[in-house]
Amino acid sequence: MKSVLNWLDRQQQRHEWAALPFGVFKKFTDDEAGQSAALISYWAFFSIMPLMLVFATVLGYVLEGNEQLQDDIINSALAKIPIFGPQLRTQVHEISGDYRAVIIGTALALWTGLAVAKQLQRAFNRVYCVPRKERPNFIFSALRALGIVAFIGLGLIATSVATTIVTGAGSLGIDLGTNLRFVSLAVSIAINTALFTLLFSWLTVRKVRYRHTLPGGILAAVAFQVLQLIGTALVAHKLKGAQATYGTFATVIGLLSWFYLQSQVTMIAAELNVVLQFHLWPRSINDDPITELPDDELNEGGEAKPKDDAQPSEETTPAASTAPT
């Protein structure tokens, strides 16, 4: 059995079409990204309602007097959660009361909802091998999480508005005919690609250029759209087996399963970006985990560019180079 595995290992290293996916899989397992995905889905489960309450409250003030648009945006955001979206919609409403109650309630809900953004930061810093001493402290992590949540909220609004415009093209005299669904899908994928590309660059404290996060952004956008299309069937299948055993708790299991699928896609896309940027393939199944990444951008040959201060100067004398410090 060992000889067969060694032969397969050698074969995948010789063929790029196999070496790249294996390199992503190897990095994924070395980073324990599956565990990170489980933690992200856990905190997403507890963050979804507080964040949606904040989302509805902010929309209520920004779009005051336009309740139809508010409902369209909230419904579009919750529609991304198969089966459970309509159930959650009945619980999503503006935080009401006097201004002090609204401010305090919104702040508490937002603080609770930041947990998932903080966990995403931890996961991405781990993927990019950021040393613990270089990771943001409690305060800066919370501020970054606040910015991430705000960006995701703006992304949801942009996607919802774009989808509404496409589906309402007929009222503007634009006849898309049978191509309406395809145009809507293309617009959603394009917007989500941009959102994921930006988000993947911001989730780590390491400086990562957008062109390095674009491949993962495309993968995540397409995969999320596919999950939207088949998500209802997947979640329904999960619920069918769970309801007989867990009853009403099956909803919790189904929702957690859905978040876990999305978290897995996110982590795979992040690992793909790192493997491509730092050319971490081909790799052997017996290779040690990667614990440090080059500081500099890679050149075209896939090797790290040398630092300027690492090159000895022609004016440096032997005496100077051997002088005690």
Q: In angstroms, rounded to a whole number, what is the distance separating the alpha carbons of residues 221 and 85?
A: 20
Let me know if residue 185 belongs to a domain.
yes
Query: What Å distances lie between residue 309 and 240, 278, 292, 306, 319, CA to CA?
Result: 62, 21, 20, 9, 18
pLDDT of residue 103: 81
Let me know if residue 206 belongs to a domain.
yes
Let me know if residue 243 belongs to a domain.
yes
The candidate with the shortest Cα–Cα distance to 34, out of 216, 266, 286, is 266
Overall number of domains in the chain: 1
Let me know if residue 325 belongs to a domain.
no
pLDDT of residue 183: 78
Per-block average pLDDT, block size 10, for the chain (325 residues)? 87 91 95 94 87 84 80 77 68 75 81 89 96 92 92 83 66 58 82 94 94 96 86 66 63 81 95 96 91 65 45 42 43
For residue 209 the two structure tokens come to 């250029």
Within 10 angstroms of residue 180's Cβ, the number of other Cβ atoms is 15
Let me know if residue 144 belongs to a domain.
yes
Say if residue 215 is preceded by a cis peptide, omega within 30 of 0: no
Question: First-to-last CA distance in the chain?
Answer: 55
AA letter at 197 = T
Q: In angstroms, rounded to a whole number, what is the distance separating the alpha carbons of residues 10 and 55?
A: 51
Domain that holds residue 202: 22-289
Let me know if residue 235 belongs to a domain.
yes
Query: What Å distances lie between residue 254 and 36, 89, 231, 232, CA to CA?
Result: 19, 17, 11, 11
Let me know if residue 302 belongs to a domain.
no
Let me know if residue 198 belongs to a domain.
yes
